Amino acid sequence: MELKDRFGGQVEPRKWYLVPLNGIEETIEKIRAGTLADYYYDPWQCPNRPNETERLESA
């Protein structure tokens, strides 16, 4: 697989992540809405979960 950086230089990935498509789509929605900082990714309970402080404040 060939990957290039923003300058066109060849790069080799050092890490790969397995994220379900719905997790990626939800993350994109949160980036667009400006709310991504309010969530964290939990690989065991995908998709994104509210940050701990958010959960405590809403309880």
Give this prediction's pTM.
Answer: 0.53
| Cβ pair 47, 23 in contact under 8 A | yes
pLDDT in tens, 22-59: 888 888 999 999 998 988 877 777 667 777 755 445 54
pLDDT, position 53: 57
CA atoms of 46 and 40, how far apart (whole Å): 10
| Cβ pair 41, 48 in contact under 8 A | yes
